[in-house]
Structure 1
Amino acid sequence: MFLGDDLLPFLVLAFGGALFVGNLLAVVRPPDKQLDDSNLERAPVVRSLGYSAIGLVAAIWAIATLVSG
């Protein structure tokens, strides 16, 4: 099997890291201009920070799983 028994922790690390970085950057650096009427000017701050926290927890959990065994 590809990557052996560590496939799921690697996937959780990748998705958790992407969730963390993507949502954090959406809050820190919003787009310069509004693309069209269907897009918001800024990302919803509370929701984005919540998703970012979930991604951070998932990434830390995956790293702990990979390191421990």
Structure 2
Amino acid sequence: MMWGMFLGEDLLAWLALALGGALCAGNLLAVVKPPAQTEEGHLERAPVGRSLLYAGLGFVVAAWALATLVAG
């Protein structure tokens, strides 16, 4: 039995869509809504530049995966 057929032919595209979407959403939420309370040794808010860079990278990965799934 081939693992590709068992898990689906588009498994890699679905995983890229999920991880890219999570990377984008998580970093945008970290910038928009920082935690109300911070523990000692933690940053009060996320670094904006790095978070926006990672959010953009996640968006590109998710968009690429979505285009791959739509194109067939």
* Structural RMSD (CA): 0.6
Select 1:28's aligned residue among 19, 29, 32: 32
| Counterpart residue identity of residue 8, structure 1 | L
Instruction: Could you tell me which runs of 5 or more consecutive residues in structure 2 were left unpaired when the two chains were aligned.
Output: 1-5
1:61 aligns with 2:31: no
| Counterpart residue identity of residue 54, structure 2 | Y
Alignment of 1:1-69 (within 5 A): 1-2=6-7, 4-34=8-38, 36-69=39-72
Secondary structure of the 1:41 match is coil
Aligned length: 67
State the 1:37 CA deviation: 2.0
TM-score between both structures, scaled by the size of structure 1: 0.93
| Counterpart residue identity of residue 56, structure 1 | F
Task: State percent identity of aligned pairs.
Answer: 60
Larger Rg, first or second structure (1 or 2)? 2
Instruction: Could you tell me which runs of 5 or more consecutive residues in structure 1 were left unpaired when the two chains were aligned.
Output: none
TM-score between both structures, scaled by the size of structure 2: 0.90
